Amino acid sequence: MSPFTRREFLKTSIAAGTMASVSNPSLHAAPRSATDTVTLGKCGVKVSRLAFGTGSDNGYVQAALGQQEFNRLIHYAYDRGIRFFETAEAYVTPAMLGEALKPFPRDTYQLMTKVTTDPGADPRKRFDQMRRTSQTEYFDIMLLHWQHTPDWVSNTKHWQDGILEAQSKKIIVARGASVHGLPALRQMPGNDWLEVAMVRMNHNGTRMDGPTGADNNNPSDVSEVVDHVKKVHSQGMGVVSMKLVGAGTFTRREDRQAAMRFAFRNAGVDAVTVGFKNTQEIDEAISNLNLALA
């Protein structure tokens, strides 16, 4: 048998390499990262995996920076690839965040906020006021804030209808709820109104859901929280988790890394929100999340 010519050898090698790549896409797949764009379930909203939260101690931690330093921090996060920003009507930060985001084209980032579901208020007027405060024409995600009772679904029907109307007018893109406590969390699976679920999540149950809506430590209930998260995710809801630094109680980096790993590897959340007060915390969160995805 005559030996291969150089041309035949190269053709065979290229073909073999191509087949290997097709059979094993991971050979050329780019590594996942904290600033990747991911889609939140069936609602279609695309966000960075890591969100900049502005609600540490109801936003007083961020507000203490002052507008100028807060602007610098938001711009730093944006430049690092974080394009998902979170606030709430009940925080002291919506106006500060709106001011900080003014230099950026509105279609280059996503804004999630939460509305206080007090009875008797007019959702239309409330949403208009919230848009003025945040200096935005629309919110990418609007959540019902701090749902902590087993009857929250029926008690917030007024607000659910208001959000649906706002969605029809493109004032709100996606809708959801932020829950505290197992009695409230248990109402999420099978809820057709919900598109985005915001759930507390970390590896040891610090400030996480338990028998009540209180911010207690409930390590024995972590498995049930994860079960509910997986269920709503399988039903097409986007899942955003909070309390990744145990409401500020995780003083060791190992715990902050473990919380990120748990959220993505065990619970399978789509995105997480972390409150920042300096650039070092932003850099660390990106690094911790990249490690969790590796």
CA distance 181 to 188: 12
| pLDDT at position 29 | 64
**Residues of the chain whose pLDDT is less than 50?**
1-4, 6-7, 9-22, 25-27
Both tokens of residue 265? 């590897």
Check: CB of residue 4 under 8 Å from CB of residue 12: yes
CA angle 71, 243, 248 (to 5 degrees): 70
| pLDDT at position 44 | 97
Sign of CA dihedral 39, 40, 41, 43: negative
Q: Which fold has domain 32-293?
A: TIM Barrel (3.20.20)
Q: Global pTM?
A: 0.90
CA distance 82 to 286: 9
| pLDDT at position 31 | 84
CA distance 214 to 207: 8
Element (H, E) at 266: none
Check: CB of residue 274 under 8 Å from CB of residue 228: no
CA distance 15 to 101: 50
Sign of CA dihedral 293, 35, 176, 174: negative
